[in-house]
Amino acid sequence: MIQKNYNFELNQYHLAIWYTTYRLIITTCLLLIFLLTYPSLNADYQYPQFYSYVLMGYVAISFIQLISLKNIKYKIPLQLTLLFVIDVVALSLMTLALDGPNLHLSLIFVITIFAASVLLDAQKALIITLIAVISVVYQLFLGSLFDLSSLNKIGNSALLAFLFFMVYGSGQVAVRRFQILENLNFSQSLELKRLQNLNRYILEQIELGYLVLDENCNIVLSNPAACTLLGIAQIYVYDKYPLIKVQPDLFELLKFDQLKNGEKFQFESQLSLFSIHIEVQKLIVPHQTLTLLVLQDARKLNQRVQQLKLAALGQLSASIAHEIRNPLAAIVQANELFLDSDPEQQTLLSQMIAKQAQRIDRIIQDTLTMVRNKETFPTLIQLNQFISQFIQEDLSDVATQIRCTIQSKISIIFDEAQLRQILINLIRNAIRHNSPEYPYIELNIYTHGSHIRIDVRDFGQGVASKDQAYLFQPFFSTEITGTGLGLYLSHSFCEANDAKLDYVQQEQGACFQIECLNANLDESL
């Protein structure tokens, strides 16, 4: 609040300086005009000597008040009040010397009233206006008591007085508008400063280095982390400075016109102790294009990558150990019971051992498939023939639980082995999570524009909203017995074949959708 009042008083002071300079120029010009034109226009002046004395005094006082206002910067409101009182008195005496108001003095009067409305408070401005009205109207009224010829000038004076009130009102409206705009500007400047300080604090706290360059390769903005990484002084953090003078090694490396958005490279300099990883980002702002360089310590970045790899390896190892422990325990228990069991029980135990061994093998195969980058061999697949054959060969035990709907003559280009693995994972997941009230799951294959969609839908409880973001991440599973690799592998296989695997929200149950290009359209083209 104190700052806002100070700004208002400062603006008021500057306006007062401009006004006092204006009145000195005007009064000096009026005196020169009088001295140059008096011999030929002396008839226009009712009291020429009185007019000249008032004008010379007005010039002298205007000069003194200007010097005083510039050098004595206290009691400004009192100085302004005295200034406008002198204006009104001097202009009134000049009007009397001219035997009534004329156009030139009337305009000066109007400007004085408006300036008083702007520079003084409302009460003082009103007093100045009333003094001006009284001095203009009543001096002529008193003169008319002695000279009947001046009665016709009272109407002009009354009109001028009315104009004074109108100017006073307009000035007050303008002042209120100015104050509103000034308050708005002040609040916006405070908010802007607050945001600038907040942005500066954030830039100072983050570990990443940020360096913003303009089209001429000048530093527009940098944060302390960038200065530290580049080995430059902190004084360039918020100053615009040529990059070639601050970090010539980086300037020589950058082919500024050829930098592409998202480009990454390593940088080392004799000025810096760090090996720096730099990422380029183009910033499009009004009237210019800026380049943002995101700087990171390459050694710390490599350490983070290694930590992530170790964390992923530990998570994978824990998942494998957890999954293998259960079937191994079942195998050990079955083996201990095998010798003391009758032939029928031994057959059941043998089947149990074989089943658990297959489960261990499946866990190992899924893990190896995930780790290895298996090469993809896409071929043309006629889905109408493939699906029926696939269900008989790979899903014969659950074939009765699959309701398949497929349009005729649909072909895609896909790796057949990977498509089989994807559909096995999706269909068996759907059957496992299907509601007991529904004896089947749906496999729908249809065209959608230039794409083919394969929907695998069940009618169970669906996937919880909180879990949908993690569906295709490795090791994520909502089942105790799941490895969390099935959907991840399916998603990876789809990406390798230029297809997409998404989860589609349903009112009931879950739907996983594969979308790939229609091979029939490619053939027609």
- Three-class secondary structure of residue 266 per DSSP: strand
Which three-class secondary structure state does DSSP give residue 517? Answer: strand
Residue 14 burial (CB < 10 Å; 0-12/13-18/19+)? exposed
* Mean pLDDT over the full length of the chain: 77
Instruction: Enter the pTM of the model.
Output: 0.40
Which pLDDT score is estimated for 159? 61
Summarize the confidence of residues 61-79 as an average pLDDT.
82
Q: Is residue 264 packed enough to be buried (19+ CB in 10 Å), middle (13-18) or exposed (0-12)?
A: exposed
Is residue 53 a contact partner of residue 7, using CB atoms and an 8 Å limit?
A: no
Note the pLDDT of residue 229: 84
pLDDT one-digit tens code per residue, 303-358: 777 776 666 666 667 666 766 776 788 788 888 887 777 888 888 888 888 887 88
383 vs 50: CA distance, rounded Å: 113
pLDDT (tens digit per residue) in 139-185 = 555 544 444 444 445 555 556 666 666 766 776 676 666 666 667 77
Enumerate residues 6+ apart whose C-beta is below 8 A from 203: 210, 221, 223, 224
pLDDT of 249 above 60: yes
- The Cα–Cα gap between 231 and 512 comes to 52
Q: Are strands 500-504 and 451-457 parallel, antiparallel or unpaired?
A: unpaired
| Distance from C-alpha of 176 to C-alpha of 454, rounded to nearest angstrom | 69
Task: State how far Cα 205 lies from the chain centre.
Answer: 19
DSSP state of 261: T
Sketch out the chain's domains with CATH numbers.
2-185 (no CATH), 206-298 (3.30.450.20), 301-371 (1.10.287), 379-524 (3.30.565.10)
Predicted pLDDT at 437: 87
Sign of the alpha-carbon torsion through 5, 7, 9, 11:
negative
Cα dihedral value 41, 45, 49, 51, nearest 10: -120
Which among 55, 139, 142, 57 has a CA at the least distance from the CA of 100? 139
Question: Among residues of the chain, what percentage have pLDDT more than 90?
Answer: 5
CA distance 80 to 356: 100
Q: Which one is predicted more confidently, 158 or 486?
A: 486
Does residue 213 have a pLDDT over 60?
A: yes
Tokens of 207: 């570990």
Q: What angle do CA 492, 496, 501 make, to 5 degrees?
A: 50
Average confidence (pLDDT) over 420-445 = 89
Within 8 A by CB and 6+ apart from 336, the residues are none
| Mean pLDDT on 224-247 | 77
- Asked if 390 and 414 count as a contact pair (C-beta separation under 8 A), the reply is no
The pLDDT tens digits of the residues spanning 80-121 come to 888 888 888 888 788 777 766 666 777 777 777 777 777 777
Higher pLDDT, 468 or 256: 468
**Which amino acid makes up residue 28?**
T
